[in-house]
Chain A
Amino acid sequence: MRFGASRRRTRATGERRRSFGLRTRLVLAFLLVAAVSAGTTAALTFREVRNAVLATAQDTAVSSFRDQVRELDFFLPVNTTELVGTLRTLARNGRPHPWYVYAEYGSVRASSGTNPTSTVITPELRRTAHADPQGSFQRVVKDGVPYLTIGMPVVFELGASTVAPTGIVLYAVMPMPEEQANVEALAAAARDGALPGLAVALVAALVAARGVLRPVRELRQAARSMGSGRLDTRIAVRGSDELADLARTFNESAGELERSVNELREAEERARRFASDVSHELRNPLAGMLAVTEVLDEGANRLDSDTARAVRLISTETGKLAVLVEDLMEISRFDARAAELNTDEIDVAETIRRTLGQRRWTDLVRTELPDGIRAVLDPRRFDVVVANLVGNALRHGGAPVTVTLRTTTGADGTAWLVTEVADRGPGIRPDVLPHIFHRFYKADAARTRSVGSGLGLAITLENVRLHGGTVRAANGPGGTGAVFTVEMPLRTGEAPA
């Protein structure tokens, strides 16, 4: 939860992009459906109307052509000159539009125009007209102009009830500009009708997408709210659709999560209180015992050797126990976030010298402490930090122990105080390094009975953190012992947040 801040930010931007996509997809889907239905309706209507328009024109033309041919008479065999005359007459009577008339008879080709044959009439139509003694027509589009071509075989009565093909086939070729214009106007009307329909659909799509996306947006806000630690976040459940189900599920899950987290927190709180309570309860008996260790020590001299040893053991261990309990209580206070910083402006070199001198370590420790570094920090806690690190180096590292002090400037211009405690011992094993600041972590089982509670480095870490700083352990170059580096803001509490 505490570490999720940066992740949350990237997730938020990612989500914003996806939400845009969802809205777009919804709107597109709506538009698509609207376009398909509008388009299909328009297309079907258009086709029906167009076909009706064309059928009317065609039927008129075909029956008109047939009727006019009925009025004619021919010589068999056909006289070409007469035929041309007949065709010209026919051509004048085209209905509903003027047409060109062509005739085929044996090898005779004649027309009402200048060309005896037509380029519009297809071989299929000719074949059909010659093979079947019945009329047929075909619409042909040539150079963008639609033509109606009609093939009409001519039969004659042989007897009272017998007709025979004359072998004459007449063709009418009728351009259909008016029909084309009508149909194009129809298409334009269909298109112009569909576009406003689509615009209306777009508005409806946006409204519907908004309606669908609002619960999604609420869900996202709720999830983000949960992520930032407000576990009591719930969503209002509206209606009974899938999104309402989702909201209900979210609420139930959030409830479960909240319960679990609360249980965990309570458990953690209980554990912390337990440690704290135990330390507190140990304090009074220990206070009594520690107050009388002097009495024991003095009296031991007058006892027989075994009893004296036992008494001295109790006295010594009471002292260690007191240190342990004191450290435990200190840690408890950090855990309960009850630790306070009491900052003061101090001379850092002077403070470190006091820390060393007070513990009679001055002769054991080399120092490189430039004068004049003043810092705002909690002197008591800084004393604990330095004392713990130096004490640790003296116990576990090798002489000489060196304490170095310097200041650096961070990337954002803040001044930092860097304190280094180095020793010349064997260094810290790599597998131990990550755990060195853990509570009661003992790198070496043989050391378990050594001085120190096992909480020293953990308390050091907490104290440095309280100052907003860091402490890290490493091995010096070339295996030349361990180096602990403490970095704290030079002016704790005044540093920019």
Chain B
Amino acid sequence: MRPRRPALVTLAAVAAPLLGGCGVPGTGVIGAGAPATAAVYPYPPTGMVLFLRSADGQAMPVVRFAEDAPDVPGPGDSPGVSTQQTVAELFAGPLEEERAAGLTDGLPDFPFEGIPLVERHPSGGVEVRLPIDLGDLDALGRRQVVCTIAFTEDAEGRTRVWLRGIETAFGPVVCDLAAGGG
């Protein structure tokens, strides 16, 4: 019996992958190419694109029809939607339908009667004055603001953005949607 023991062990070792792995094994997560591109309504160039956030810290775009936009104080220089309006709507917070989907703005509220002011920046791009302390914005919040402004200014969202708060300012910044959940 003695010489057979190691032989049996070896046989078992050889047979184990053969017999034990004869089903369909589980795997880790495997990349499978590009995401799916789907159409959204309303068609973004005709609507108002705001970047809210989800509970797990992702920037979540919502598209509002322009006429759905709530009344916000400020000059309404249409056609289209003005940057002043989108920024004001962003800071005004999500609508009920958006809240139902678990979205929030995650931004400080403007002081009463406070409005964003939009100017052309001398070196190109746009400068937006916000009646808040910019230090109250977290990184995701800045990104929401910057991207909302950028995609209002141009369809590709490439406009350079300067932000000026009560005491601080920064810029220029370009919208970076790929920054993900960070």
User: In the complex, A touching B, CB below 8 Å?
Assistant: yes
Q: Which of B3, B22, B29 contacts A28 (CB 8 A)?
A: B3
Q: State A47–B180 Cα separation when bound (angstroms).
A: 37
> Which residues of A (55-91) have their CB < 8 Å from a CB of B?
58, 62-63, 65-66, 69-70, 72-80
Q: Is B139 an interface residue (CB 8 A)?
A: no
Q: Which of A42, A141, A170 contacts B36 (CB 8 A)?
A: A170
Interface centre among B19, B32, B61 (most CB of A within 10 A): B32
A124: B residues at CB distance < 8 A:
28-29
Residue of B nearest to A57 (CB): B24
Contact A135 B29 (CB under 8 A): no
Q: State A76–B31 Cα separation when bound (angstroms).
A: 26
Q: Is A413 an interface residue (CB 8 A)?
A: no
Q: State A324–B129 Cα separation when bound (angstroms).
A: 147
Q: Is A157 an interface residue (CB 8 A)?
A: yes
Contact A136 B101 (CB under 8 A): no
Contact B61 A159 (CB under 8 A): no
Q: Is A152 an interface residue (CB 8 A)?
A: yes
Do most interface residues of chain A lie in helix, strand or loop, or is the interface mixed?
mixed
Known: A36-B14, A167-B54, A183-B24. Contact between A162 and B156, CB under 8 A?
Answer: yes
A42: B residues at CB distance < 8 A:
18
* Interface size in chain A (residues, C-beta < 8 A): 85
Q: How far is the CB of B45 from chain A (nearest CB, A)?
A: 8
Contact A54 B24 (CB under 8 A): yes
Contact B35 A160 (CB under 8 A): no
Known: A108-B102, A124-B28, A131-B181. Contact between A66 and B34, CB under 8 A?
Answer: yes
Q: Is A176 an interface residue (CB 8 A)?
A: yes
A131: B residues at CB distance < 8 A:
180-181
Q: State A163–B3 Cα separation when bound (angstroms).
A: 68
The contact string, 1 if C-beta is below 8 Å from chain B, for chain A 164-204, is 11111010000010011001101110110010000000000
Q: How far is the CB of A71 from chain B (nearest CB, A)?
A: 8
Contact A155 B37 (CB under 8 A): yes
Contact B61 A107 (CB under 8 A): no
Q: How far is the CB of B157 from chain A (nearest CB, A)?
A: 6
Q: How far is the CB of A17 from chain B (nearest CB, A)?
A: 12
Residue of A nearest to B17 (CB): A43
Q: Is B177 an interface residue (CB 8 A)?
A: yes
B39: A residues at CB distance < 8 A:
72-74, 156-157
With A137-B32, A157-B37 given, name 9 new contacts (CB 8 A): A70-B38, A72-B39, A132-B180, A134-B32, A138-B26, A153-B36, A157-B44, A162-B156, A183-B24
Binding site for B on A (CB under 8 A): 21, 24-25, 28-29, 32, 35-36, 39-40, 42-43, 46-47, 50, 54, 58, 62-63, 65-66, 69-70, 72-80, 105-108, 122, 124-125, 128, 130-141, 144, 146, 150-168, 170, 176, 179-180, 183-184, 186-188, 190-191, 194
